[in-house]
Structure 1
Amino acid sequence: MNAIVKQDSRLPALQMDEAELLDVLQSSLYPGASHKSIKMVLGYCKAAGLDPMRKPVHIVPMWDNKARQMRDVTMPGIGLYRTDAARTGEHVGTDEPIFGPMVEYDLSGTKVTVPEWCKVTVYRMVGGMKCAYTATEYWVENYATAGKDTTAPNTMWKKRGRGQLAKCAEAQALRKGFPEVGNQPTADEMEGKTLDMGPADVAQAPAAPPALQPYPADQFAANLPKWREVIESARKTADDLIQFAQSRSPNTLFTEEQKATLRDIKPVKNAAATDVQPKGEAAAPAADSCPAPTFAHVCDKLHAAKDVDALHLAADLVSQVPDTQQQAELNELYEQRLGEFASG
């Protein structure tokens, strides 16, 4: 088993009338908390399939730098991390916390003597091996202040400096060993901290693509003789040519009438191939109806193109040139000519 087992969402507490449950929680587990804040707890528990009567999460008052006021934030407790790690079936123990040397701090006139750091190791079975995950946390980086305008520790961190620090180190070790339990800091780690939401990122709506315009009738009439030659010579089918032309001018769309005109053009068969050969005589080799264009021929076509459509038709011949190096040179010429039309 390597997945956290969630509780049944049909927990007795969650089947109670909400108003009644809010009163129960307010009078027992969350005294002094508003109904609004307790509703956040219920939402958290419903989403995660947790029993709110076990107090898996805490309500932590925090200073919101952006709103410039205190606000309640719902955060998991260390007990929830321990429970989720145990439910994986792979948590095989946690060492006793190891504390660093005792140090003294003078914080806004309040002197405290506390362990400098705490180290906790948790163990997980991975592929049949017992693996250790260790985290070290420092008291001065974790303690909760008595208020937003002082650096003095609050009552809990003055009275239980070692215990609070040990819970912070254990939470970090559990996150390292069991990342599926979550990455959110626990209430013990965030108590007394400032909630810095930062500036909101405003996503810019993508610009609407330009509306498709019908392929200009005059350009269609001007290009039709060249397109007819391409289709009749079987170098492209009508549908291939339509797709190619529209890929070169993505903001235009052939009308159904224009498509029908192109599709009515059929390839012209090689008459020599249909001649009946005299009996007893070997058939003359059929002439290649579509010889591969030469580098010079395609180069001349690219230079001679009078508009973008003629340039696109010439570019269609590049891939038929046998030499790949010559293809690369022709593609460079095509890009150069395309730039000329675009700029002028």
Structure 2
Amino acid sequence: MPETPVPSVPDVTLLRSIGWPYAGKPEDSAWRAVMEAHPGATPARVIEQHRSGYVVADAPGVGVKAESLPEWQRPRFPAHERPAVGDWVLLEDAASKRPRIVALLPRHTGIKRGAAGEHYHQQVIAANIDTVFIVCGLDADFNPRRIERYLLLVGGGGAQPVVVLTKADRTEYAADAVEVLADLTAQGVPVFTVNAKDPESVAQLAPWLEPGHTVVLVGSSGAGKSTLTNTLLGDERMKTGEVRESDSRGRHTTTFRALIPLPAGACLIDTPGMRELKPTGEEDLADGGFADIEALAEQCKFRDCSHDREPGCAVRAAIEREELDEGRFLNYLKLRDEVAAAADKLASRLADKANAKVQNKALNKRLTDKYGKR
């Protein structure tokens, strides 16, 4: 199939080397509509996100600061509607020292979480990604429940999750850790153990690092994300730090999200360690590594089964037969409640937004009726 010509793109080859997904993807029509609305603008990718603004690039190794749209700077503007690392934007005055962002192109995948605090907000961790490497150390950092939480956040975003267990050279129990995660591998989630300092060990990840692909690393501080990044780069570019012996946690050697082109042609997004992983309310437990439990629940005798002591409960029967780990099931219940609570907050926020829109429309009509159009 011939590729659709892309308007206002100076060099498609260079853009593809930093993950340009335009030709042949379902979002072509949506992207084209935005691009045609800004015929003088050219695309670039957000490679760094700071509180003061963005750094964008239209080729590997070329980053410039860009001015964002004024509305993105307003305090009440939804954070998840602002660009994030990995997003594609349109620039005007791209050749100048200070180009201006004039539009955000629609995302085709992403990973986000509920932001910290009592009020409902969403935070985009990375956008337009093909794969998420969930990095976990094979020391005190190893926590199957946290891995399941990451999978829940990744599941609905459209990217492929891959669990990467680092520090395999420091333990003799790597195979046991993989066995603990057997329920995940049975659902098609790849799990690898690696020595993040060894290029031959890290080479197992090559199928997800093909040219044009974008991978984001997520995990706790001290899990080995920066070490893994350095090995993939073949260069000690990212700072690494020692971890505490008491809990295997490290300092935040990565302090902001950044997109880095790899020698193999893929793009890697390194992220700071995340301590809080709140659902947004949009997650699907079946897509987040719990499809087997959801399938069991459908076999229960009663549709409203709480999976406690009801007769004919397929879930409790699987636990008693030791076919389902009870700790994993309890985490499923916990995450299910968190998703439901977040979904309620989301619904309330959307309802408030819709009511405000109706009220503003009514107010504008009254003002127009009284004073006429201005």
What's the TM-score bracket when you normalise by the shorter of the two chains?
Answer: under 0.3
Could you say which structure has the greater relative contact order, defined with CA pairs below 8 angstroms and 6 or more residues apart?
2
Structure with greater helix share of residues: 1
TM-score (norm 2): 0.18
The structure with the larger Rg is: 1
TM-score (norm 1): 0.19
